[in-house]
Amino acid sequence: MIKSQLEKSFSNLSQKSDTLEHTLDEMKQENDALHISLNNMSDTIEKLQIMISSIEEGLCLNSWLRFQSSCYMVSAVETDWNNSRRTCRENNADLVIIDSKEEQEFLIGVGKDSKEVWIGLSDSDQEGTWKWVDGTPFTEGFWRSGEPNDSNGNEDCAVLNLNIQAWSVRGNPTTSLQAWNDIPCYRSIPSICERKL
């Protein structure tokens, strides 16, 4: 009697063990499949992140404005030329380099509220030799009549005069293509940064 009960229990346990082993095998297979799909998802996320970065690099986000293949930011922060340049560089940009009539006209239109802004042009290294911040050769600029004049012998940084009307009213007739002046680099004024795409 006891023997037959034991045999029955043993048989039941064996069956349970087989079932458990089978379930374990299934769970292992499921686990392997989950690992594979997790790896695939990680690959997809990585690819999407690369796509997002490249889309962002090709866009002008937040307060940056797009013109041709650059983004521009008119900064209202008033500081000297060197500090303004540092801030542009911290934002993956530099002070603006104006190398076409179209760009000059676009910039005059974007910052009408500021009187004058720093641009990326100076003759600090050698008086009278104007240099763009990125080493682009300087040919001719859009200077106001009579500028640059190195007034008092200490004007080595260039500004763009944005409020053409105000400058004209002050008895110095000017146009959007005659809107640069040289002033002392230590003056605190706003600036325009440019990031080339």
Query: Which residues here bind ligand 2F8, judged by CB under 6 A?
Result: 147, 149, 151, 155, 172, 181-183
178 binds Ca ion, rule: CB under 5 A: no
The token duo for 168 is 């004209």
Least distance to ligand 2F8 from the beta carbon of 89, Å?
A: 25
What 8-state DSSP symbol labels residue 109? Answer: H
**Which amino acid, 61?**
L
Q: Is 131 helix (H, G, I), strand (E, B) or coil?
A: strand
The minimum distance between CB 73 and ligand 2F8, in angstroms, equals 23
Q: Which residue stretch of 79-87, 133-141, 165-173, 177-185 sits at the interface with Ca ion (rule: CB under 5 A)?
A: 177-185
Site string (144-163) toward Ca ion, x via CB under 5 A: ---x-x-x---x--------
From the CB of 140, what's the least distance to Ca ion, in Å?
Answer: 17
Residue ranges of alpha helices (H) inside the chain are 2-57, 81-90, 101-110, 164-169
- Assess 182 for contact with Ca ion (CB under 5 A): yes
Dist CA 24 CA 152 (whole Å): 89
- Give whichever of 68 and 154 is closer to Ca ion, judged by the CB atom: 154
Instruction: Give how far Cα 28 sits from Cα of 17, 42, 97, 104, 174, Å.
Output: 16, 21, 62, 67, 80
Give me the residues that bind Ca ion (CB under 5 A), please.
147, 149, 151, 155, 181-182
